[in-house]
Amino acid sequence: MLKTVFLYIVLLLGATNAMAQDVVFSAQATAEKMGIEDQVQIQYTIKNTQDIKRLGPDHNELSKDFHILGGPFTSQSSQIYVNDKGQMAQSMSVSMTYVLQPKHTGKLTIPAAIAQTNAGDTYKSNSVPIEVVKGSIAPPPQQQQRRRDPFFDDPFEAMMRQRQRQMQALQQQRGNRRQQQPQPAEELNLDKDLFIKVVVDKNKVHVGEQITASYKLYARVPMNVNISKLPSLNGFWTQDFDMPKGKITPVEEIVNGERYQVFTLKKSALFPQQTGTLELDPAEAEGVARVVQKIQQDPFFQNSFGSLFMDDPFFNDDFFSTMAYRDVPVKLKSSPVKIQVEPLPEKGKPEHYGGAVGAFTIESSLDKKSITTDDVVNLKLTISGSGNIKLIEAPVLELPNGLTSYDPAIVDTITGRSTTISGSKIITYTITPRTPGDYDIPSIPFSYFNTRTGKYVTLNTEPAKLHVDMGKGYKQDAHKEIALTDIHDINTGVLPGAALSSKPVILTVGYWSLYAVPLFAFIGILAWKRREDELSKDVVSLKRRRANKIALKRLTTAKALLQKNEKTPFYEEVSKAIWLYLSDKLNIPLSSLSRDNVWDALQSRDIDRDMQKQVERVMDECETALYAGSSGAQQMSQTYNDAVEVISKLEESFKA
Partner 1 sequence: MSKQLTFTLLILTLCIQALAAGNATWDKANKFYEQKEYDSAVYYYKQLSKTAPRNAEVYYNLGNTYYRLNDIGHSVLNYEKALKYNPDHKKASDNLYLAKSRISNRIQEVPVIFFIRWWRSITKSNLANTYAIIAAGLFILLIVYYSLKRLDKINIDLPTQLSAGILIVSIVFIILGIVSANRVVADNKAVVMQGDAPFTLQPGSSTSQSLIPEGTTVKVTNEDGSWTEVILPDGRTGWMSRSVLSKI
The smaller minimum CB distance to partner 1, of residues 526 and 539, is found at 526
Which SS3 state, helix, strand or coil, does residue 396 take? coil
Work out whether 502 is an interface residue with partner 1 (CB under 8 A).
yes
The smaller minimum CB distance to partner 1, of residues 2 and 490, is found at 490
In the chain, what is the greatest distance between 2 CA atoms, to the nearest angstrom? 225
Tell me the three-class secondary structure of 436-475, residue by residue.
Answer: CEEEEECCCEEEEEECCCCEEEEEECCCEEEEEECCCCCC
Cβ(215)–Cβ(351) below 8 Å: no
Cβ(305)–Cβ(169) below 8 Å: no
Work out whether 490 is an interface residue with partner 1 (CB under 8 A).
yes
Work out whether 475 is an interface residue with partner 1 (CB under 8 A).
no
Work out whether 506 is an interface residue with partner 1 (CB under 8 A).
yes
- Residue 433 CB burial class (10 angstroms; 0-12, 13-18, ≥19): buried
Which SS3 state, helix, strand or coil, does residue 238 take? strand
Residue type at position 501: S
Q: Which of 69, 519, 539, 560 binds partner 1 (CB under 8 A)?
A: 519
The smaller minimum CB distance to partner 1, of residues 8 and 520, is found at 520
Least spacing, CB of residue 246 vs partner 1, in Å: 57
Work out whether 64 is an interface residue with partner 1 (CB under 8 A).
no
Q: Which of 351, 477, 486, 534 binds partner 1 (CB under 8 A)?
A: 486
Work out whether 476 is an interface residue with partner 1 (CB under 8 A).
no
The one segment of 100-108, 516-524, 546-554, 557-565 that binds partner 1 by CB under 8 A = 516-524
Least spacing, CB of residue 355 vs partner 1, in Å: 24
Q: Which of 515, 537, 538, 634 binds partner 1 (CB under 8 A)?
A: 515
The one segment of 216-224, 312-320, 512-520, 634-642 that binds partner 1 by CB under 8 A = 512-520
Per-residue CA distances from 185 to 168, 181, 182, 328 (Å) = 25, 12, 9, 12
CA-nearest of 457, 452, 458, 459 to 206 is 452
The smaller minimum CB distance to partner 1, of residues 88 and 506, is found at 506
Cβ(570)–Cβ(562) below 8 Å: yes
Which is it for strands 113-117 and 128-133: parallel, antiparallel or unpaired?
A: unpaired
Q: Which residues contact 553 (CB under 8 A, 6 or more apart)?
A: none
Least spacing, CB of residue 402 vs partner 1, in Å: 14
**DSSP assignment, residue 224?**
E
Q: Which of 20, 82, 88, 507 binds partner 1 (CB under 8 A)?
A: 507
Least spacing, CB of residue 393 vs partner 1, in Å: 22
The one segment of 7-15, 199-207, 509-517, 642-650 that binds partner 1 by CB under 8 A = 509-517
Q: Which of 85, 104, 347, 503 binds partner 1 (CB under 8 A)?
A: 503
Work out whether 529 is an interface residue with partner 1 (CB under 8 A).
yes
Work out whether 511 is an interface residue with partner 1 (CB under 8 A).
yes
Cβ(286)–Cβ(331) below 8 Å: yes
Q: Which of 471, 518, 629, 632 binds partner 1 (CB under 8 A)?
A: 518
Q: Which of 484, 539, 542, 590 binds partner 1 (CB under 8 A)?
A: 484
| Euclidean distance between CA atoms 398 and 442, whole angstroms | 7
Least spacing, CB of residue 399 vs partner 1, in Å: 16
Work out whether 535 is an interface residue with partner 1 (CB under 8 A).
no
Residue 72, preceding bond cis, omega within 30 degrees? yes
The smaller minimum CB distance to partner 1, of residues 6 and 520, is found at 520
- Residue 191 CB burial class (10 angstroms; 0-12, 13-18, ≥19): exposed
Work out whether 406 is an interface residue with partner 1 (CB under 8 A).
no
CA-nearest of 166, 226, 161, 220 to 191 is 220
Cβ(228)–Cβ(334) below 8 Å: no
On the CB side of 545, CA atoms within 13 Å amount to 6
The smaller minimum CB distance to partner 1, of residues 314 and 522, is found at 522
What is the rounded end-to-end Cα distance, in angstroms, of the chain? 145
Work out whether 2 is an interface residue with partner 1 (CB under 8 A).
no
Least spacing, CB of residue 512 vs partner 1, in Å: 9
Work out whether 152 is an interface residue with partner 1 (CB under 8 A).
no
| Euclidean distance between CA atoms 45 and 137, whole angstroms | 27
Per-residue CA distances from 596 to 8, 107, 582, 602 (Å) = 161, 198, 12, 10
**Site for partner 1, residues 597 to 656, rule: CB under 8 A:** none
Q: Which of 409, 521, 540, 590 binds partner 1 (CB under 8 A)?
A: 521
Least spacing, CB of residue 514 vs partner 1, in Å: 4
Crossing angle of helices 633-655 and 509-564, in 10° steps, is 140
Work out whether 560 is an interface residue with partner 1 (CB under 8 A).
no
Work out whether 491 is an interface residue with partner 1 (CB under 8 A).
yes
CA-nearest of 355, 353, 382, 352 to 367 is 382
Work out whether 516 is an interface residue with partner 1 (CB under 8 A).
no
Least spacing, CB of residue 585 vs partner 1, in Å: 28
Counting residues that bind partner 1 (by CB under 8 A) gives 33
| Euclidean distance between CA atoms 379 and 366, whole angstroms | 5
Q: Which of 500, 509, 535, 656 binds partner 1 (CB under 8 A)?
A: 500
The smaller minimum CB distance to partner 1, of residues 521 and 560, is found at 521
Least spacing, CB of residue 519 vs partner 1, in Å: 6
Which SS3 state, helix, strand or coil, does residue 652 take? helix
Which SS3 state, helix, strand or coil, does residue 566 take? coil
The smaller minimum CB distance to partner 1, of residues 244 and 496, is found at 496
Work out whether 495 is an interface residue with partner 1 (CB under 8 A).
yes
Work out whether 481 is an interface residue with partner 1 (CB under 8 A).
yes
The smaller minimum CB distance to partner 1, of residues 254 and 517, is found at 517
The smaller minimum CB distance to partner 1, of residues 152 and 515, is found at 515
Q: How many CB atoms lie within 10 A of CB 481?
A: 8
Cα dihedral 474/477/481/483 (nearest 10): 30
Least spacing, CB of residue 436 vs partner 1, in Å: 20
Work out whether 492 is an interface residue with partner 1 (CB under 8 A).
yes
Which sign does the torsion angle of CA 56, 60, 63, 65 carry?
negative
The smaller minimum CB distance to partner 1, of residues 477 and 596, is found at 477
Cβ(34)–Cβ(132) below 8 Å: yes
The smaller minimum CB distance to partner 1, of residues 346 and 481, is found at 481
The smaller minimum CB distance to partner 1, of residues 242 and 486, is found at 486
Cβ(25)–Cβ(115) below 8 Å: yes
Work out whether 8 is an interface residue with partner 1 (CB under 8 A).
no
Q: Which of 498, 509, 628, 656 binds partner 1 (CB under 8 A)?
A: 498
Least spacing, CB of residue 241 vs partner 1, in Å: 45
Binding residues for partner 1, rule: CB under 8 A, are: 481, 484, 486-492, 494-507, 511, 514-515, 518-519, 521-522, 525-526, 529
